[in-house]
Amino acid sequence: MQHDDDLVHQNLMSLQTHVLAEEAKHPGATGDLSWIISAISLAGKTIANKVRRARLDDVLGAHGTENVQGEEQLKMDVIANEIIMRCLGDRASIAVLASEEDEEPRILRRSGDGGKYCVLFDPLDGSSNLDSCVGVGTIFSVTVNDPKEADGEKTVCQPGTRQVAAGYILYGSSTIICLTTGDGVDMFVLDQAIGSFLRVRTKLRIPESGTTYSINEANAETFPEGYQRYLQFAHSSGYTSRYIGSMVSDVHRTLIRGGIFLYPPTAKNPDGKLRLLYEANPMAMLLEQAGGVSYSGDVRTMDVQPERLHQRVPVLLGSPAEVAKVREFI
């Protein structure tokens, strides 16, 4: 015989309903953050559709331009960026939008005009894998706008501890949103039959340990010595290597199964490769809310003070026990 609690647990819960239920827990909430998350989910549905049709619509391959980091832009990078800009651009509470693909943040409105939040994002992480049909994703971060700061870049250069929401959308065998608003991590899967993200996991927790590490070992010879010693330990201890080359996919697997994700400094990228504001910080917040740990060098990732929009950092994140092991070596 089923108990009422079992029936409640099995009830369908959409992302929109979930957000409204969380909002109701805070009597002073205005609903502005809920509108932003709703816009992000709309962008995710739209990008997911474009990703599925990328080859049919002939939008794979290079766009013929470079982004601010000097990286070749792919057609889907540009499309995903435009989709997010259009979905979020009309949200009255957003002051600034900042993207990996744009040189400078876009100031939409000042605080006096209702601009309360800044949204930062990597529109299509791992896009070079699209022509191989590998999972790619969108990473996003929401911070509170500083009403005293008129400069767009300075107002988004906040440490990760000031994020009010963060997460990612994974476009793989299914389309998944993992989201935190500072009260644990929840997972939603897109049911394409009804066009809604449905909640499948609440208060998601990363395993305390795991014997899988995710790193681009092709660069191992130029890693700092401590990372090389850790890899020797992992090889001799029966660890498994899994590296997709899409941060969203690699971090998602780490979150679900445990282990670690590493992107150390290299000879080519001595300061690290991942961007602090719209890759490292949101992933760090998400992992910490799931019981994980994230470091950039010797500093907790979310404690790093950003100095510029496209600042890069090394990243070490994952299960607490595994991160501790790596830190013993480095």
Domain with CATH 3.30.540.10 in the chain: 4-201
pLDDT at 1 over 50: no
- The CATH label, of 3.40.50.300, 3.90.1150.10, 3.40.190.80, 3.30.365.10, for the domain at 212-329 is 3.40.190.80
4-201, CATH topology level = Fructose-1,6-Bisphosphatase; Chain A, domain 1 (3.30.540)
Q: What is the pLDDT of residues 246-272, one digit of tens each?
A: 999 999 999 999 999 999 999 999 999
Q: One-letter amino acid identity for 116?
A: K
Q: Please give the share of the chain, as a percent, with pLDDT higher than 70.
A: 94
pLDDT at 166 over 50: yes
Q: Under a CB-based contact definition with an 8 Å cutoff, are residues 84 and 123 in contact?
A: yes
DSSP3 helix / strand / coil % (the chain, rounded to 5): 40, 25, 35
The pTM of this model reads 0.92
Q: Under a CB-based contact definition with an 8 Å cutoff, are residues 212 and 259 in contact?
A: yes
Domain with CATH 3.40.190.80 in the chain: 212-329
Confidence at residue 207, expressed as pLDDT on a 0 to 100 scale:
98
Where helices occur in the chain by DSSP H, the ranges are: 4-10, 15-24, 32-52, 75-88, 152-156, 225-236, 247-257, 281-289, 320-329
At residue 294 the predicted structure's pLDDT band, cuts being 50, 70 and 90, is very high
